[in-house]
């Protein structure tokens, strides 16, 4: 039975051209951001076993990545540093010759106006305990002491040429603290991306391989409980009020409801991060021949955009952009 006289929705699905014409959601290369890992002390890229096709880059190979990203027309790159040495307060995050700051200067020079060069503003890659902040005497992450380190990191990254700082640490008040620090030093044009709804997820496992994480314990006292939906929206609206330029939901696929909530309420751009575990699952299933890899990649990113994301951070950014173009 049809729902009414002559009503046949299938008319709009009869050919590939028709389906393309009436598609409600499309992927554009400019909506994609490529996360890039840059490792100190290597001369050539190093494969990441749990993320097939993704590498830790040397400073030299970073130049090629930036050139490829610009040629593909993607929106930007998000840089993560992987240092040789770590300490309790993550000194390498703010040193002028720290790997992330050096990589940022190179990326900014190579990219010019073709890409938005973005940097991860968090301490977890640089601390020997692997947490996103400094610890107090009892071993807990000290929120306010961490904010002081974030202020210092913000200035170091802005001075190195980062155009957008990705605040991924989930400390209370981090957006306001970083915005104040940037403005106080004249970096009024440096934008802030708040990882607002960042959940304590099982899907970060491969990422920890990518940054050689030394995490001890877990991050459940500062990242969000996966059971909580309303809290994600609350966090995003708090970051908007503190002056964020963009808000983020992370992970993406397991939190499409939160993403839709934030996208509906937010007056500023909303991004989502398709994280390492989401990437690894599709790659692993495809390697076994259980799913169509290309279709699964496209469908997964379309679902994130359909839920309301304006931009997606994805390890498939270059591949998708090339296939679209």
CATH number at residue 217: 3.20.20.70
Contact 174, 145 (CB under 8 A): no
Task: Based on the residue annotation, tell me whether 250 is a catalytic residue of this protein.
Answer: yes
Contact 74, 32 (CB under 8 A): yes
- Position 2 pLDDT exceeds 70: no
User: How far, in Å, CA of 236 to CA of 223, rounded?
Assistant: 13
Instruction: Quick: pLDDT tens for 234-250.
Output: 999 999 999 999 999 99
Taking each continuous run of H as one helix and of E as one strand, the counts in the chain are: 11, 10
Instruction: Quick: pLDDT tens for 75-132.
Output: 999 999 999 999 999 999 999 999 999 999 999 999 999 999 999 999 999 999 989 9
Q: What is the DSSP letter of 289?
A: T
Neighbours of 26 (CB within 10 A): 10
Q: Say if 129 falls within a structural domain.
A: yes
Q: Say if 8 falls within a structural domain.
A: no
- Position 216 pLDDT exceeds 80: no
How high is the mean pLDDT of the chain?
Answer: 95
Question: Residue 141 — very low, low, confident or very high, per pLDDT cuts 50/70/90?
Answer: very high
Question: Residue 286 — very low, low, confident or very high, per pLDDT cuts 50/70/90?
Answer: very high
pLDDT of the residue at 319: 97
- Position 214 pLDDT exceeds 80: no
Q: Could you give phi then psi for residue 135, rounded to 5 degrees?
A: -100, 150
With a pLDDT cut of 70, the percent of the chain lying above it is 98
Q: Say if 137 falls within a structural domain.
A: yes
Q: Say if 11 falls within a structural domain.
A: no
User: How far, in Å, CA of 316 to CA of 21, rounded?
Assistant: 25
Q: Say if 4 falls within a structural domain.
A: no
Task: Based on the residue annotation, tell me whether 220 is a catalytic residue of this protein.
Answer: no
198, 233, 242, 320: the catalytic one is 198
Q: Say if 150 falls within a structural domain.
A: yes
What is the residue-wise DSSP string for 298-321? Answer: HHHHHHHHHTT-SEEE-TTHHHHH
Q: Say if 2 falls within a structural domain.
A: no
Q: Say if 7 falls within a structural domain.
A: no
pLDDT of the residue at 185: 98
Contact 62, 107 (CB under 8 A): yes
pLDDT of the residue at 21: 95
Counting the structural domains of the chain, the total is: 1
103, 126, 250, 274: the catalytic one is 250
């Amino acid at each position: 039975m049809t729902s009414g006289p002559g009503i046949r929705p299938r008319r709009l699905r009869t050919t590939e051209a028709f389906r393309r014409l009436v598609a409600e959601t499309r992927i554009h290369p400019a909506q994609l951001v490529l996360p890039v890992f840059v490792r100190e002390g290597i001369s050539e890229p190093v494969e990441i076993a749990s993320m097939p096709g993704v590498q830790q880059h040397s400073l030299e190979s970073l130049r090629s990545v930036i050139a490829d990203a610009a040629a593909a027309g993607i929106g930007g790159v998000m840089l993560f540093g992987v240092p040789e040495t770590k300490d309790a307060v993550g000194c390498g995050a703010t040193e002028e010759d720290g790997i992330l700051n050096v990589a940022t200067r190179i990326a900014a020079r190579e990219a010019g106006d073709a890409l938005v060069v973005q940097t991860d503003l968090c301490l977890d890659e640089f601390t020997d305990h692997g947490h996103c902040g400094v610890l107090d005497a009892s071993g807990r992450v000290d929120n306010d002491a961490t904010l002081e380190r974030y202020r210092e990191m913000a200035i170091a990254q802005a001075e190195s040429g980062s155009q957008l700082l990705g605040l991924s640490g989930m400390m209370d008040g981090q957006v306001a603290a970083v915005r104040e620090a940037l403005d106080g030093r004249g970096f009024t044009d440096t934008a802030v991306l708040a990882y607002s709804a960042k959940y304590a997820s099982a899907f970060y496992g491969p990422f920890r391989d990518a940054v050689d994480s030394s995490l001890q314990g877990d991050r459940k006292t500062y990242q969000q409980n996966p059971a909580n939906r309303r809290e994600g929206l609350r966090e995003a609206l708090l970051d908007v009020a503190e002056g964020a330029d963009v808000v983020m939901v992370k992970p993406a696929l397991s939190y499409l409801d939160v993403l839709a909530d934030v996208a509906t309420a937010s007056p500023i751009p909303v991004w989502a991060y398709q994280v390492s575990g989401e990437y690894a699952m599709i790659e692993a299933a495809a390697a076994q021949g259980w799913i169509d890899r290309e279709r699964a990649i496209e469908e997964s990113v379309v679902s994130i955009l359909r839920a309301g994301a304006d931009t997606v951070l994805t390890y498939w950014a270059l591949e998708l952009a090339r296939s679209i173009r």
